[in-house]
A and B are shown apart, each in its own frame.
Chain A
Amino acid sequence: MSKAAELAALIGSQTALSNRNLIINGAMQVAQRGTSSTGTGYQTVDRFQGTNSGLDESNTQAQVDVASGTTPYSLGFRKAFRITNGNQTSGADAGDIVNYRYIFEAQDIANSGWDYTSSSSYVTLSFWAKSSVAQTFYGHMKTFDGTVYNYPFSLGALSADTWTKVTKTIPGNSGLQIDNDNGQGLEFRIVMFYGTDRTASVTENAWAVYDNTQRTPDNTSTWYTTNDATFEITGVQLEVGEQATPFEHRSFADELHRCQRYYAVRENTAGSLKYYGRTLQAYGAASVFGLIADYPVTMRATPTVSQSGTFGAYKANSGNNAMATAIQNLYATSHSWGTGGWSGNSNLTAGHAVVMYAENNAKLMADAEL
């Protein structure tokens, strides 16, 4: 048998030969929002959330470097997503939560080739994990459409401060429904801690109808009750088939492009008073309106938009500064940022062209995350 045939036999006929990894940013390369935060949800590494609830002291989520000399580093991983615990002085309460969360767009799973309603069709989740505290951790996968199903699993016993490759092969189930649309289709969580409000004596490695109070087996609380405990993940891959194949490395540009379907930033990093966006139009003597700039790619849905820094505008052919403020009435169309009325104090006339600028580091954001 040729090497190619041996490889094909090893990975199975269900496995795609390209675009195998259904995870976006699994190597944690892209962090458009920033590299460290004490918030919850989408804060740093794109497409991944660090979620928490019930904490006495905030934890910190961060994009961090993978240390050279480690096995993930030697495999080409340079970034990881770290959660650093706070000081949970009241101990492990029933409602407390710390976990990683990743949500797949439904149509990406529906069109992946996984026959998710068949118990003989599989996806395989694999990732590198490292905890500063030796403990057995859990995770779970969950659907959204139709009757919601849950699949709890164990990561196994992690040794302290040791990178471990975790692999879970997950079958389909006749009860699963994943619609062919742009909504939430499937999620998985890697759990540092669930209090007993979220845990019970559930069966591992089996799909069951989702119960919010029975997401995983009861959790050990050692990590959660250790001040400044850390947990890191990288190299996250979900692929169709029964085998975990080597991580599908992608270029930064490729990952950024994929991430921008869900979150985009348009920032002036070239210095102060740089032209920015399209020419706007005066609506009257003191206001302008119009579309400012297109999103870099088609976004999943019409995004929530926000801004930081100082923007401004000149009346064309005059050099007169018409306004230098935050953009007023900033709103989103399906394809671009716009302003529905930005007031200044110059002597404009309806129809005047107005040239927009941005101060250094002024930026617009668009959030269409799941």
Chain B
Amino acid sequence: MKITNAKYMKDMATDETVGIAATIDGTDATVPLDPANRHYDEIMRQVAAGTLTIADAD
């Protein structure tokens, strides 16, 4: 799974971090902060492996 451009996303109204915006296999998507989500699991695996960095939210 190729994941690029990972960046935390915040809800403007609540300032709560609500997900990670990323490009997954060429598709822009938002991944929830849910360990049961396979994309979140893969992002965390790649972060732990040092092959992916998640940028801070704007």
Q: Which of B1, B9, B24, B27 contacts A331 (CB 8 A)?
A: B9
Q: Which residue of A lies closest to B13 (CB)?
A: A289
Most buried by B among A301, A330, A340: A340
Q: Please measure, in the bound complex, the distance between the C-alpha atom of A340 and the C-alpha atom of B13, giving whole angstroms.
A: 7
A residues in contact with B29, CB < 8 Å: 304-306, 367
Residues of A in contact with B, size category: 20 to 34
Let me know if A46 is at the binding interface, CB within 8 A: no
Q: Which of A183, A283, A304 contacts B30 (CB 8 A)?
A: A304
Contact pattern, B 29-56, Cβ under 8 Å of A = 1, otherwise 0 = 1111010111110000000000000000
| Beta-carbon contact of A283 and B12 below 8 Å | yes
Interface residues of A in 290-309 (CB under 8 A from B): 300-306
Interface of B is mostly: mixed
Q: Which of B10, B11, B31 contacts A304 (CB 8 A)?
A: B31
| Beta-carbon contact of A331 and B11 below 8 Å | yes
Q: Which of B18, B25, B36 contacts A39 (CB 8 A)?
A: B25
Given contacts A304-B39, A331-B32, contact A340 B27 (CB under 8 A): no
Let me know if A110 is at the binding interface, CB within 8 A: no
B residues in contact with A332, CB < 8 Å: 19, 30, 32
Let me know if A344 is at the binding interface, CB within 8 A: no
Q: Please measure, in the bound complex, the distance between the C-alpha atom of A368 and the C-alpha atom of B36, giving whole angstroms.
A: 9
CB distance from B47 to the nearest CB of A (A): 16
| Beta-carbon contact of B30 and A331 below 8 Å | yes
| Beta-carbon contact of B36 and A329 below 8 Å | no
Q: Which of A183, A340, A367 contacts B36 (CB 8 A)?
A: A183
A-B contact count (CB 8 A): 67
Let me know if A341 is at the binding interface, CB within 8 A: yes
Interface residues of A in 259-288 (CB under 8 A from B): 283, 287
Q: Which of B12, B19, B25, B28 contacts A287 (CB 8 A)?
A: B12
Contact pattern, A 316-348, Cβ under 8 Å of B = 1, otherwise 0 = 000000000000011111000010110000000
Interface residues of B in 5-26 (CB under 8 A from A): 9-14, 18-19, 21, 24-25
| Beta-carbon contact of A302 and B34 below 8 Å | yes
CB distance from B33 to the nearest CB of A (A): 8
Q: Which of B11, B28, B38 contacts A340 (CB 8 A)?
A: B11
Q: Please measure, in the bound complex, the distance between the C-alpha atom of A330 and the C-alpha atom of B9, giving whole angstroms.
A: 9
Q: Which residue of B lies closest to A370 (CB)?
A: B38
Q: Please measure, in the bound complex, the distance between the C-alpha atom of A290 and the C-alpha atom of B19, giving whole angstroms.
A: 15
CB distance from A254 to the nearest CB of B (A): 25
B residues in contact with A306, CB < 8 Å: 27-30
B residues in contact with A305, CB < 8 Å: 29-30
Q: Which residue of A lies closest to B32 (CB)?
A: A302
| Beta-carbon contact of B18 and A340 below 8 Å | yes
CB distance from A248 to the nearest CB of B (A): 28
| Beta-carbon contact of A301 and B37 below 8 Å | yes
Q: Please measure, in the bound complex, the distance between the C-alpha atom of A333 and the C-alpha atom of B37, giving whole angstroms.
A: 12
A residues in contact with B19, CB < 8 Å: 331-332
| Beta-carbon contact of A283 and B32 below 8 Å | no
CB distance from A20 to the nearest CB of B (A): 27
B residues in contact with A39, CB < 8 Å: 25
B residues in contact with A368, CB < 8 Å: 37
Q: Which residue of B lies closest to A340 (CB)?
A: B11
| Beta-carbon contact of A301 and B36 below 8 Å | yes
7 contacts between A and B (CB under 8 A): A304-B30, A304-B31, A304-B32, A306-B29, A331-B19, A333-B18, A340-B14
Interface of B toward A, CB cutoff 8 Å: 1, 9-14, 18-19, 21, 24-25, 27-32, 34, 36-40
Those 8 A-B pairs whose CB atoms lie nearest each other, nearest first: A341-B12, A340-B11, A301-B36, A302-B32, A302-B34, A306-B29, A331-B19, A331-B18
Since A289-B12, A340-B14, A367-B29 are in contact, a sample of 9 more A-B pairs with Cβ atoms closer than 8 Å, ordered by chain A residue number, is A41-B25, A183-B36, A287-B12, A289-B11, A301-B34, A304-B24, A329-B12, A332-B19, A340-B18
